[in-house]
Structure 1
Amino acid sequence: MMTRAPAGPALRKICLIATEESGDRLGASLMKVLRQRLGDAVEFSGVGGHGMAREGLTSWFPIEELSIVGFSGVLKQLPKILRLIDRTVDAVLAASPDVLVIIDSPDFTHRVARRVRARNPAIPIVDYVSPTVWAWRPGRARAMRGYVDHVLALLPFEPEAYRTLNGPPCSYVGHPLIEQLAILRPNADEQARRAAQPPVLLVLPGSRRSEVARHLPVFGRTLEALRARGVAFEALLPTTPHLEATVRAGLADWPVAPQIVTGEAEKRAAFRSARAALAKSGTVTLELAVAGVPMVTAYRVGEVEAFILRRVIRVRSVILANLVIGDNVIPEYLQEACTADNLAPALAEVLADGPARMRQTEAFARLDQIMATGAASPSVRAADIVLETMRKGRRSAHT
């Protein structure tokens, strides 16, 4: 009598939706851990970039199709965006996954999640990277209870914000920067370079063409004004290869031109040697803070966006590092205040040894404790919650 071989573990189908490079990196790290946990008994599908492709995902469309910035950019391409949302929803439903993980980009991913939930309430949904419910549109948190089963937070204060706003369950898994401490912090030689003359000054106008276009002119005038004050410095501008030509064109008429460095390794090396930075607001401020680099921050948006944001922002600072630290230690110059007359003297203060610089460095020293996640890395903690949500099984339609 022939005996049947024991069945292997059931195949788990996991959909992931990430539409930006930062989300692609998170998705790739998550997929790697999920593959380690599930072995060959997992099948990935969804939307992602090169990192997720290396981990086994064939994207339903190139994420470059959604590289849109600003309200005006969204309006111009709204029909295309809506078509891609419809296409993604249909693909998720056809895949019928054991769990759907949406990663950042809430204007796109949450529209997908809402429609998936409406058409198939049985699919569990995890949101990796909280939208900024604590900064504006707080009503989103409560609304998310209808289509998100668990939120994976990158920032330590976010779980409490969700409890206060009556949102879905939210767990702090940790920021990916926690996994990069070794490549962000200087060795002895690099620490010595931070103290040497002339000091290295990082110039960080942004990672998108629209940000670069808005910030390069005022940043150029700031370096000129700083040099006119008699402040010596060696300026470095880290950028990505696809923005290099745009940046070089923008620097063509700068009297004080920085050295351009491209690539992730060169950027990290610049962070480890820098004494200070002039940076646009965004995730880079937390990156600099973790690296121990004091900074002056600036940001400009279009007039329509500025008009809207002034009326909806609910936080006392737009600087991510300030929000994580819980104190406005980093100066910020936004919109009309973003001028060389304001930025140059503030930079002179953080380049020199003095109270302004010391206030930032002392605050940055607290970040390891503030952002700690214990022994597990952020991607491991995230994978654990995704698997736990998946194992709870498909939701009933009335839940």
Structure 2
Amino acid sequence: MKLSQMLTTGDDAALQAVMMQAAKEAGISEARLFTQQGIFTRRILEAMGLDELDERLREMRTQNGDGEGNGGGGGGSQSSGASGALETLEQSRAALFESVRDFVEAQIAMRTRNAGRLLREEALSRLRLAALDKSDMALLRDLTRKLAKKLASRHVRRRKKNLRGVLDIRRTMRRNQAHDGLLFNLAWRRVKRDKPKLIVMCDVSGSVAAVAQFFLMFLYNLGDVMPRTRSFVFSNRCGEISQMMADHDIEKAMALALREYGGGSTDYGTSFTDLYDATSDDIDRHTSVLILGDARSNFGDPGHGVLREIHNKAKRVIWLNPEARVSWNVGDSEMRRLGAYCTDVHVCNSLRQVERVVDSLLKYAG
């Protein structure tokens, strides 16, 4: 049976069998590094019949395009049905990609589980946080603290360099006129920097909660070097947890935050309104707003109108999405509409990616 047929009929048993055979053909037993994840994911998909599936999708897009302008009364219904079948198959392709990627990720994680601590830490830092095994949580918390400490040290060195300022050529030349052009005494000019502010809003519903927990843990461990930060979490409503994080250790603070704001069905419209009501007086041209979420609105109001207001007032709006780009704008994903009001949009679903984002924030903070 062709891959497109298995996806159309929803034959999960056949898909699983084909994936296992394709993984064997792709040499999954040789996968040892998370840098190989993309290679093996692609190999398995190709062995499963990705080319045939993509060819079928191209045919359906062509047929759908041809049917849209023919004008008959019955043609509209036919076109609508074809469009629905095309969208369903495209969603199935995206879901298949994620399933194969998760399978490869789990296979590599299994093969590195008994490796040395440093290799294991490197593997965990690249593993999707939503796919973590509970047995790895303690090690990942330690790794988060270690990476945060390393970033803090790097930022302190960077800040000292920035405080020194830039070389003042004129003053330096005047100071060294008596030294025949040799620059013994350097003069530095301080560069005035505005104090930055950061507002963080994290989705704590479903699988996104795991990424939010470690992202907030990173910020918690960088409290002394981060810019002024207000932290919010949301599911069906949004609330501030800055005081919780100040009063408790991060595990306790997250437990309280999940109890108070987690568990609801994601409502971006209400949550963005709550955030704006709480922070509108604090958002200005020195403020970065960072949003961590999958942009899935459950087909409700995505809140893009409120996000536009935030974007117009803030210095930057950064969106971190834990889903792979292939899943954006599929189904109830509103990434296209919400991303239109963001300065930067990134995939962020592993500790290594969290580290990269936080390092960028610290560089911006100076």
If the length of structure 2 is used for normalisation, what is the TM-score? 0.31
Q: Quick check: which has more Rg, 1 or 2?
A: 2
If the length of structure 1 is used for normalisation, what is the TM-score? 0.28
